[in-house]
Amino acid sequence: MRYETIFPLFLFRQMESRIVRRDQGGKDVLALLETILLGLEAKEEDWNARLEAVELCLSEMQKAQDYRRRRTRPSEYLERAILNLRAMRIAVKQRDRLMALQMGKAVVGALSKA
């Protein structure tokens, strides 16, 4: 696989091995999403790597949502970001670059407000 063209391999492995820290507020997930979006804009064709990265982001955001749900009421922006990320996952599975870009930008926008 050509991870270097979409996002650096070290960043992917770093995200894969680490759970989003509660004090960072999802900055790791946001950084990974931005690198995925850069790969989509560059029109690289490694869809399997993108799908793995999107699913990794989704699982990390769901962990953060579960943590917030136990502590306090979850943020509306976080729930919206998770819904948009699910739509992005579907778009990547269907290899729809335009929809994946739109949903990715919506996720980044929702996370920046959260």
Is residue 19 over pLDDT 50? no
Position 80 scores a pLDDT of: 92
**Residue-wise DSSP of 40-109:** HHTT---HHHHHHHHHHHHHHHHHHHHHHHHHSPPPHHHHHHHHHHHHHHHHHHTT-HHHHHHHHHHHHH
Q: Please give the Cα distance from 100 to 111 (Å, whole number).
A: 16
Q: How many CB atoms lie within 10 A of CB 96?
A: 14
Is residue 40 over pLDDT 50? yes
pTM: 0.71
The pLDDT confidence band at residue 10, using thresholds 50, 70 and 90, is: very low
Is residue 11 over pLDDT 90? no
- Specify burial of residue 23 (Cβ count, 10 A radius: 0-12, 13-18, 19+): exposed
Tokens in use for 15?
């995200």
- pLDDT tens digit sequence for 45-60: 788 888 998 999 999 8
Position 14 scores a pLDDT of: 44
The pLDDT confidence band at residue 90, using thresholds 50, 70 and 90, is: very high
Mean pLDDT of the chain: 77
- pLDDT tens digit sequence for 65-85: 888 888 887 678 889 999 999
